[in-house]
Amino acid sequence: MATINVSDDSFETDVISSNKPVLVDFWASWCGPCKMIAPSLEELSDEMAGSITIAKINIDDNQMTPTKFGVRGIPTMMIFKDGKVVSTQVGAMAKSRIDSWIKEVVG
């Protein structure tokens, strides 16, 4: 399962109402570190398809959601469980660190 793209309009349905945890990557096309972690997130999305959904939201095209959740720098990744933010990481990380973080938070 590849990452899914979410928007301000679909965020409530795709993330908040999801029946499994969702990692949301707040990114922009001009962000170098965002581009660096994108392949890792795609791979992890396939590897962890049964336990977590990985979603991406472009902050330039969707400005309400990042503002609502206080995103100040990108890439910012947030894990949502039961409609609430349970963990946040800011900045690019190696795939192994993202993997460890997800497993630590989601179980």
Which residues are identified as catalytic? 31, 34
Cα 80 from chain centroid? 9
* Dist CA 76 CA 45 (whole Å): 17
For the stretch 60-65, contacts whose Cβ atoms lie closer than 8 Å and that sit 24 or more positions apart, written own/partner, are 60/28, 60/29, 60/30, 61/7, 62/6, 62/7, 62/8, 62/11, 63/8, 64/8, 65/8, 65/11, 65/26
**What mean pLDDT do residues 81-98 have?**
97
Q: What percent of the chain has pLDDT over 70?
A: 99
* Dist CA 44 CA 73 (whole Å): 22
List domains and CATH numbers for the chain. 4-106 (3.40.30.10)
* Dist CA 79 CA 81 (whole Å): 7
DSSP conformational letter for 51 = T
State pTM to two decimals: 0.96
Write down the pLDDT at residue 1. 66
4-46 residue pLDDT tens: 999 999 999 999 999 999 999 999 999 999 999 999 999 999 9
**What mean pLDDT do residues 60-67 have?**
98
Structure-block tokens of residue 43: 């791979």
Cβ pair 75, 26 in contact under 8 A = yes
Write down the pLDDT at residue 38. 97
pLDDT score of 68 more than 90: yes
Write down the pLDDT at residue 107. 81
Write down the pLDDT at residue 52. 96
